[in-house]
């Protein structure tokens, strides 16, 4: 059995879909369907079971899953709202829960691949997996960083034979993120704005960048899934890895590519809200040297290829 936490979410559901495509259906999806429309991500997928996160944590704590043969755990579940200021809730969800699952996986000697985030770098201008570059700007980024450091410390203390990998996702976009609302990728939000109003609003000059020229490393979700599966199947890889394309592109590039693909739309520039100015990453670009060094050699989608795939998937879905 595979376990996918956050399996009804964006990346989790895409992982389940990829497992299905290779013939794996013995999958336990763990999530919280309090937000009812998330079930839409699961209705075309084949799984063996579903469990609410609170129930699953109780099963882990009580040892009721101890005799279950688990082929791998993909821990994608988390509170990913960068504007969430309830630190107690964030740390329980993203840190304490992750520690419980890490130790459960090590007891089971099963691969443990989990979602970290480029938010661990925060205000840094260098995106290499090193403590000098880790400067989170919010409690979400800190919760991810603290767990990364916990895992690194545990790997130094113990001889873990199963793969353990923390994946610092950069700006992931693609199908199955409709439920995320304001936390959906900017590519998803721009696409919706073009369809509904014909206008993409980008921030005017800030952080030393011109209008709409703030830059991010945008990575298509299909590439993120491939990295997860590669590391789970590796048999031995351990550590923290950036997961991005290694190329930085501007928001103008994104908007123009979407407008060209849809055949309509225009760009307007608006001032950045004051509440974001001190917490906004105006530039990200993953250093993927460490990921390449452990043998991941598949090419990443270019921005144009990924947006093309995203638009085609949305058209097939009828939205």
Kindly give, in sequence order, each residue whose CB lies less than 8 Å from that of residue 18, ignoring residues fewer than 6 positions away. 225, 226, 229
Residues β-bridged to residue 29: 4, 50
Kindly give, in sequence order, each residue whose CB lies less than 8 Å from that of residue 17, ignoring residues fewer than 6 positions away. 44, 45, 176
117-132 burial, b for 16+ CB within 10 Å, e for fewer? bbbbbbebeebebeee
Alpha-carbon distances of 53 from 75, 142, 210, rounded to whole Å: 11, 22, 43
For the annotated catalytic residues, the residue numbers are 140, 180
Q: Name the region of 221 (left: φ>0; alpha: ψ -120 to 50; beta: rest).
A: alpha
Note whether 246 and 300 are within 8 A (CB). yes
């Amino acid at each position: 059995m595979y376990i996918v936490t956050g399996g009804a979410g964006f990346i989790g559901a895409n992982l389940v879909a990829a497992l299905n495509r290779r013939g794996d259906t013995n999958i336990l999806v763990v999530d919280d369907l309090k937000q009812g429309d998330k079930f839409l991500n699961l209705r075309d997928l084949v799984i063996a079971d579903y469990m609410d996160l609170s129930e699953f944590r109780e099963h882990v704590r009580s040892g009721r899953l101890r005799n279950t043969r688990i082929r791998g755990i993909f821990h994608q579940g988390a509170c990913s709202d960068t504007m969430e200021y309830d630190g107690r809730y964030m740390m329980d969800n993203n840190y304490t829960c992750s520690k419980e699952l890490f130790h459960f996986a090590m007891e089971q000697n099963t691969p443990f691949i989990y979602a970290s985030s480029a938010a661990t770098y925060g205000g840094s201008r260098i995106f290499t997996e090193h403590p000098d570059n880790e400067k989170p700007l919010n409690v979400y980024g800190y919760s991810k960083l603290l767990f990364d450091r916990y895992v690194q410390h545990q790997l130094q203390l113990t001889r873990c034979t199963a793969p353990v990998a923390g994946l610092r996702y950069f700006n992931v976009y693609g199908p199955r993120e409709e439920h995320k609302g304001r936390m959906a990728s900017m590519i998803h939000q721009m696409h919706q704005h073009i369809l509904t109003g014909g206008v993409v609003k980008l921030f005017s000059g800030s952080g030393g960048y011109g209008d709409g020229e703030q830059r991010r490393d945008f990575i298509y979700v299909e590439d993120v899934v491939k990295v997860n599966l590669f590391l789970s199947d590796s048999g031995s890889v351990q550590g923290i890895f950036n997961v991005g394309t290694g190329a930085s592109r501007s928001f103008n590039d994104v908007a123009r590519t979407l407008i060209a693909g849809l055949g309509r739309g225009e760009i307007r520039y608006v001032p950045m809200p004051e509440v974001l100015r001190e917490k906004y990453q105006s530039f990200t670009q993953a250093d993927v040297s460490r990921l390449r060094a452990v043998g991941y050699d598949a090419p990443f989608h270019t921005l144009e290829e990924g947006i093309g795939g995203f638009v085609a998937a949305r058209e097939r879905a009828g939205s």
